[in-house]
Structure 1
Amino acid sequence: MTYCVGMLLDSGLVLMSDTRTNSGVDNISTFRKMHRWEIPGQRIVALMAAGNLATTQAVVSHLEERHKAPLERHNALLEADTMFSVATIVGNLLQNTIAASAADNGQSAAAGAFSASMIVAGQIKGMAPRLFLIYPEGNFIEASFDTPFFQIGETKYGRPILLRGYDRAMSFEAAVKLLTVSFDSTLKANLSVGLPLDLLVMERDCFEPRHERRVEADDPYFRSVSTGWGEALKRALEALPDYRMDSPPPDAAQD
């Protein structure tokens, strides 16, 4: 399992992913889940993946082959007219990869053994930054004011943090802090998500990473936020009204 989040802000896009892949408690590995491609001054495209590792690596490998192909071959990902077209290309490739893997193993694609989902984010010059969630079937949805961020993988533990703390107008720094808390909460609750984390910030109309880093287990900022969040939760709990077992229920008091 994994955990990836893509967040759309007024100022651009913020992406974070973990790197843990496991097929049992005694077989845990680290693999990059975040990938990006860019043409300086023209476009930047990033992808995060969750699900069957062979499927996601096959999709990324196909995209990398297109990216590194000789000049006489066309790179569809970097030549697409819009980010919608980029999402369509990735969606079709994901669907075809799942179907081919299932067929090779005598299974139905609907069985889900080779399933994966992806988040695609980026911007093409002259257009707004866009964020897409791509399903295993190849179809996708786009982030909007109603749904300004997407999660894939182990989503349930970190989602409440994002719902309470997200603000479309927040700064990149505030967004990174919010994502750090969301990932820390997920790490605490599920061993299938683990450090290191990959972080990518893409500023609007800046077609190269505004900020990019890998967050290791001994990262001072991550450790500070993790400790501070735990202490803040304890203080918040203590500040809430105490429950009184010697007080009658409200309905009983009215009777």
Structure 2
Amino acid sequence: MTYCIGLRLNKGLVFMSDTRTNAGVDNISVFKKMNTWEVPGERVITMMTAGNLATTQAIVSILDERTKAAADRSPSILEMPSMFQVARLIGDTMKEEIQSNGLAGQTADSAFNATLIVGGQIKGSPPRLFLIYPEGNFIEASSETPFFQIGETKYGRPILVRAYEPDMTFEAAIKLMLVSFDSTIKANLSVGLPLDVQVYENDRFTICHNLRIDAEDDYYKQISTGWGEALKQAFDVLPEFNFNDR
């Protein structure tokens, strides 16, 4: 399992993904789940992956090879005129890869499935964020749905829903996402550090910040400890239950 968040702000986009993959509690590995393609000054495209590792790595390899080899460049995400067309191309690529792994074409609920978050900006249009399903279809983030999660989503969702604000700073967004990740990591062994983080500011056409947060990171330790203590304090100040009032 995995956990990834793509967050749309008024200022730009923020991406965060864990790096843990596992095939049982005694077979845990670290793999990067965030990939970025850039043409400085013209486009930035970031993709995060969840699901079958062989499928997601094949998708990344296919997309990457098309950006490098001139003879195999068509269709390439570096040639698509819009982020919508990028999302469609990636969705088609994933659908074809999933089907190619089955004797008669695997369905989306097969062992080869994958789910993707794709976001970025191409010059001439605003930044956009998409969630792509195993079937190849997708939805786009909006003011009503400003963030997407993939993988082990349920533990970290409540804090995102309660605390997200579209005009928050990138620093506040990273703090919020770290709380979401910490809640997930503590609840599910299949999600773990280190975490990859990317920040994209509107109309910059290059990644502004690209960093990795590991278990020894001082700020992450402060967030993890502080959030636990804050929850206990909030619980203690809530009114006490009384059987006599029932």
TM-score normalised by the chain length of structure 1: 0.93
Task: Tell me which residue corresponds to 1:253.
Answer: none
Equivalent-residue separation in structure 2 for 1:100 and 1:172 (angstroms): 40
Deviation at 1:244, TM superposition (A): 2.1
Which ranges of structure 1 fall in alignment gaps of 5 or more residues? Answer: 250-255
Task: Tell me which residue corresponds to 2:65.
Answer: 65
Which structure's CA Rg is the greater one? 1
Task: Tell me which residue corresponds to 1:38.
Answer: 38
Residues 69 and 75 of structure 1 are in contact (CA less than 8 Å); yes or no, is this contact kept in structure 2?
no
Superposed CA deviations along residues 47-77 of structure 1, whole A, max 9, x for unmatched, are: 0000000000000000111122137844620
Deviation at 1:171, TM superposition (A): 0.7
Deviation at 1:111, TM superposition (A): 4.4
Residues 65 and 72 of structure 2 are in contact (CA less than 8 Å); yes or no, is this contact kept in structure 1?
no
Structure 1 residue matching 2:177: 3-state secondary structure? helix
Question: CA 1:75–1:38 in structure 2 vs 1: closer, same or farther (change >3 Å)?
Answer: farther
Task: Tell me which residue corresponds to 1:142.
Answer: 140
Task: Tell me which residue corresponds to 1:16.
Answer: 16
1:200 pairs with one of 198, 201, 204? 198
Question: CA 1:206–1:75 in structure 2 vs 1: closer, same or farther (change >3 Å)?
Answer: farther
Superposed CA deviations along residues 157-199 of structure 1, whole A, max 9, x for unmatched, are: 0000100010111111110000000000000000000000000
Equivalent-residue separation in structure 2 for 1:25 and 1:99 (angstroms): 29
Question: CA 1:9–1:110 in structure 2 vs 1: closer, same or farther (change >3 Å)?
Answer: closer
Task: Tell me which residue corresponds to 2:84.
Answer: 84
Amino acid at match of 1:102: G
1:185 pairs with one of 155, 177, 183? 183
Task: Tell me which residue corresponds to 1:152.
Answer: 150
Equivalent-residue separation in structure 2 for 1:45 and 1:142 (angstroms): 15
Structure 1 residue matching 2:102: 3-state secondary structure? helix
Amino acid at match of 1:136: P
For these two proteins, the number of residue pairs brought into alignment is: 246
Deviation at 1:41, TM superposition (A): 0.6
Equivalent-residue separation in structure 2 for 1:118 and 1:95 (angstroms): 12
Question: CA 1:11–1:110 in structure 2 vs 1: closer, same or farther (change >3 Å)?
Answer: closer
Task: Tell me which residue corresponds to 1:109.
Answer: 107
Which ranges of structure 2 fall in alignment gaps of 5 or more residues? Answer: none
What is the percent sequence identity of the aligned residues? 59
Equivalent-residue separation in structure 1 for 2:204 and 2:197 (angstroms): 17
Equivalent-residue separation in structure 2 for 1:12 and 1:68 (angstroms): 27
The answer as to 2:100 corresponding to 1:100 is yes
Equivalent-residue separation in structure 2 for 1:190 and 1:51 (angstroms): 16
Equivalent-residue separation in structure 1 for 2:106 and 2:117 (angstroms): 24
Deviation at 1:112, TM superposition (A): 1.4
Equivalent-residue separation in structure 1 for 2:109 and 2:11 (angstroms): 40
Residues 65 and 73 of structure 2 are in contact (CA less than 8 Å); yes or no, is this contact kept in structure 1?
no
Amino acid at match of 1:244: N
Task: Tell me which residue corresponds to 1:3.
Answer: 3
Residues 67 and 75 of structure 1 are in contact (CA less than 8 Å); yes or no, is this contact kept in structure 2?
no
Structure 2 residue matching 1:46: 3-state secondary structure? strand
Structure 2 residue matching 1:152: 3-state secondary structure? strand
Equivalent-residue separation in structure 2 for 1:74 and 1:96 (angstroms): 16
Task: Tell me which residue corresponds to 1:248.
Answer: 245
Amino acid at match of 2:94: L
Equivalent-residue separation in structure 2 for 1:130 and 1:108 (angstroms): 30
Amino acid at match of 2:245: P
Residues 17 and 197 of structure 2 are in contact (CA less than 8 Å); yes or no, is this contact kept in structure 1?
yes
Equivalent-residue separation in structure 2 for 1:126 and 1:99 (angstroms): 35
Amino acid at match of 1:216: D
The two structures, once aligned, show a CA RMSD in angstroms of 1.3
